[in-house]
């Protein structure tokens, strides 16, 4: 029989030759895989401790040495604080303290007028009565000046009235926040010890000379800090 000869009648494709009614046996079933035992997961029993994410320190910028990328022509880099905020110029600080002094001179003028009037009404000036009046005025002026700068510079805004007008504020050097009343009071006393010593003749003059030098000290400091800023750890920055 050739390969092209059709199969005999009754034989189906896939049947055993000579046994047309019987199909070939099915192929053997695959042997089942051996199941793996449920072993405990070491990572589930002994989890690794979760480490806290590393703290990112605040950005610390060098004092403005280079202009920022894309700065226009003619841009002049200014010193920055540790948080990238521009530091106030010396002339802004000077004008602010002058304005504050003018504001404080108003209540001081009233106090002086009261003291002067009381001496005139008491029968004229004598060394004893006028000396006592000067002592009392010095104490009142000291409380007035100290309260003004401590409360305003130590507030959340950190600005006196003069600093508000010039767009500058006093900030903590390390965290960039408010100073608090005590540090603000210390700062103004280091700048202006005449608050306490101005009514003493010789000591008041020495304190005035020191205040002049302390007021000029930001001019030769790379971070524009005066003596009082270094003691209180403060920066004076621009807010507009």
Taking only the tens of pLDDT, the chain with its 240 residues reads 455 555 555 555 555 555 555 556 666 666 555 555 566 665 555 556 666 666 655 545 454 444 555 556 555 567 888 888 999 999 999 999 999 999 999 999 998 888 777 776 666 555 567 677 778 888 899 999 999 999 999 999 999 999 999 999 999 999 999 999 999 999 999 999 988 887 778 888 899 999 999 999 999 998 999 999 999 999 999 998
Alpha-carbon span 157 to 134, nearest angstrom: 34
Domain positions in the chain are: 90-238
Residue 61 has what pLDDT?
Answer: 46
Residue 170 has what pLDDT?
Answer: 97
| Inter-axis angle of helices 181-191 and 127-153, nearest 10 | 130
């Amino acid at each position: 029989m050739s390969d092209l000869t059709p199969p005999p009648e009754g034989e189906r494709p896939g049947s055993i030759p000579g046994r047309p009614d019987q199909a070939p046996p099915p192929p053997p079933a695959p042997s089942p895989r051996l199941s793996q035992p449920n072993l405990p997961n070491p990572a589930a029993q002994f989890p690794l401790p979760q480490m806290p994410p590393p703290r990112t320190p605040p950005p610390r910028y060098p004092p403005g040495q280079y202009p920022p990328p894309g700065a226009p022509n003619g841009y002049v880099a200014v010193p920055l604080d540790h948080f990238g905020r521009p530091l106030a110029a010396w002339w802004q600080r000077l004008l602010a303290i002058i304005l504050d002094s003018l504001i404080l001179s108003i209540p001081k003028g009233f106090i002086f007028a009261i003291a002067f009037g009381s001496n005139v009404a008491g029968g004229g000036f004598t060394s004893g009565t006028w000396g006592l009046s000067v002592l009392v005025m010095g104490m009142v002026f000291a409380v007035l000046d100290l309260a003004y700068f401590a409360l305003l510079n130590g507030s959340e805004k950190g600005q006196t009235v003069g600093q508000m007008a010039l767009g500058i504020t006093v900030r903590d050097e390390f965290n960039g926040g408010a100073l608090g009343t005590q540090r603000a009071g210390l700062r103004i006393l280091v700048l202006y010890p005449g608050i306490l010593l101005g009514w003493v003749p010789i000591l008041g003059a020495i304190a005035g000379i020191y205040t002049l030098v302390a007021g000029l000290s930001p001019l030769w400091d790379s971070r524009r800090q005066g003596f009082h800023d270094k003691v209180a750890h403060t920066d004076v920055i621009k807010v507009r």
